[in-house]
Amino acid sequence: MSKIKGAVVVNTERCKGCNLCVVACPTQTLALTTNEVNHKGYAYCYEAQPDTCIGCSSCAIVCPDGCITVYKKGSAPVRKTTEKYESTAQPIPNPQVEDTHESEVLLMKGNEAIAHAAIRCGCDGYFGYPITPQSEVLETLAELKPWETTGMVVLQAESEVASINMLYGGGGSGKRVMTSSSSVGIALMQEGISYMAGAEVPGLLVNVQRGGPGLGTIQPSQSDYNQATRGGGNGDYNVIVLAPNSVQEMADFVDLGFNLAFKYRNPVMILSDGVIGQMMEKVVLPPYKARRTEEEIAKECPWAANGHGLKKRGVNVITSLELDPANMETHNLHLQEKYQQVKDNEVRYEADGCEDIDYLIVAFGSAARISQKAISIAQEQGMKVGLFRPITLWPFPEKEIREMCQHVKGILTVEINAGQMVFDVRAAVEGRVPVHHFGRLGGIVPDPDEIVGALRKLEAETK
């Protein structure tokens, strides 16, 4: 039996030779090259003693550039780990072939998880334009080259406006298509999103938020809450909004997003932020799912303008234009009925430690992660606090928050913005208890101690 318990794959071209992984490794597995450099001119990390690796992941955790992927024994692809690798990308098996990587635990950034999950979920096409802090989505797809395996199209469009209109075309033909961008880029897409909602075209959007307004900053923010949950463009419509708080949820919400998009023929947005997009965590990627065949699309999407089945049905027209106001009102009423169905059936949330509490923190995404730490500090100080995390920001879990507010003295919303979700919480609570907001702006994330301070202010007001 081999002594090897782990193996690492290093993205040698990305490595900057900082030596942190070499120092962090408890088994002296790693070393920097002494006679070779990568294309940036850096000595790079490699497995000098591959047999000693115990798969502890310390190297991957300390690497500031996410260059290292650790494989546990039994899941490691057979590779010579001392040879040069172009990327950390895993080989993509043929979806028709048995998937041996289903339960493999990997370490990667949230943005990378989105890209991996897209390929695994049978995505037909990605159209996007690079912008910090989400560029790794497109970069990872380019590294993985899914067009050579699953046939998924990956295209860097000339702009965000082009990207969203490619989504309109792809979704209109029944394809699983997606884009990703950050805040200001998503703002540019709003016309197309409104067209898609009006024409009932499914599509998946990922917004890895950065601070605004305008070009703002490249640091994390949650200041697109209003833009995402109020439609964002013109007209009466809603986008289904999912808010991940981990790399795992970044991966999980891709398939969920596609399923909701097609179930309701509506755009779905994964509203992430620079923290979740850039942080590295363990993730189990979803199993591979083959892309749908043209016949399956024709069957599942009888509304699609895909050029198939014309002998069996009439011509399908995808448009949001209707010049007859009576017809337009009828269409709007139909959309409103659909949105009500979404509200009735698709609310998702997580309530953590919400029994026998005095105060409730309501937070989503990365703010919820930070709030967990704040809650444990507050509990150590004797406060009784729980966390309510909306997972769907639209539809918003208003009934659940209304129910919960009956049992607490006050609510604190923690957001990385000037106070946006707080209005939805106040609307749900209907004045029953005080609702405070705490947030930081400009790309600064809240500190857990600051949140505890805000809880203390709420406590002082409600004692």
Residues of the shown chain interacting with ligand SF4 in the complex, contacts defined by CB under 6 A = 6, 8, 10, 15-21, 24-25, 27, 29-30, 45, 53-59, 62-63, 65, 67-68, 70
214 neighbors 184 (Cβ within 8 angstroms): yes
Which residue, 59 or 187, has its beta carbon nearer to ligand SF4?
A: 59
Sign (positive or negative) of CA dihedral 273, 279, 280, 281: negative
273: which strand partners? 209
Instruction: Report the candidate in 186, 184, 133, 124 with the shortest Cα–Cα distance to residue 155.
Output: 124
Shortest distance, CB of residue 69 to ligand SF4, whole angstroms? Answer: 10
Which residue, 67 or 445, has its beta carbon nearer to ligand SF4?
A: 67
Shortest distance, CB of residue 11 to ligand SF4, whole angstroms? Answer: 8
Whether omega before 434 lies within 30 degrees of 0, making that bond cis, reads no
Torsions phi, psi of 417, nearest 5?
A: -165, -175
Shortest distance, CB of residue 33 to ligand SF4, whole angstroms? Answer: 10
Shortest distance, CB of residue 8 to ligand SF4, whole angstroms? Answer: 5
Burial pattern 376-402, b for ≥16 Cβ within 10 A else e, equals eebeeeebbbbbbbbbbbbbbbbeebe
Which residue, 62 or 161, has its beta carbon nearer to ligand SF4?
A: 62
Which residue, 20 or 161, has its beta carbon nearer to ligand SF4?
A: 20
Which residue, 256 or 279, has its beta carbon nearer to ligand SF4?
A: 279
7 neighbors 50 (Cβ within 8 angstroms): yes
Shortest distance, CB of residue 46 to ligand SF4, whole angstroms? Answer: 9
Which residue, 13 or 322, has its beta carbon nearer to ligand SF4?
A: 13
Shortest distance, CB of residue 281 to ligand SF4, whole angstroms? Answer: 16
Which residue, 26 or 151, has its beta carbon nearer to ligand SF4?
A: 26
118 neighbors 152 (Cβ within 8 angstroms): yes
For residue 316, give both structure tokens. 């399908």
Which residue, 60 or 367, has its beta carbon nearer to ligand SF4?
A: 60
Indicate the Cα dihedral angle 66, 67, 73, 76, nearest 10°.
120
Shortest distance, CB of residue 88 to ligand SF4, whole angstroms? Answer: 10
Which residue, 46 or 129, has its beta carbon nearer to ligand SF4?
A: 46
Which residue, 64 or 453, has its beta carbon nearer to ligand SF4?
A: 64
* Distance, CA of 377 to CA of 431 (rounded, Å): 28
Shortest distance, CB of residue 103 to ligand SF4, whole angstroms? Answer: 19
Shortest distance, CB of residue 109 to ligand SF4, whole angstroms? Answer: 13
210 neighbors 274 (Cβ within 8 angstroms): yes
For residue 370, give both structure tokens. 């930070």
Shortest distance, CB of residue 417 to ligand SF4, whole angstroms? Answer: 33
The residue written with tokens 């050579």 in the block is: 148
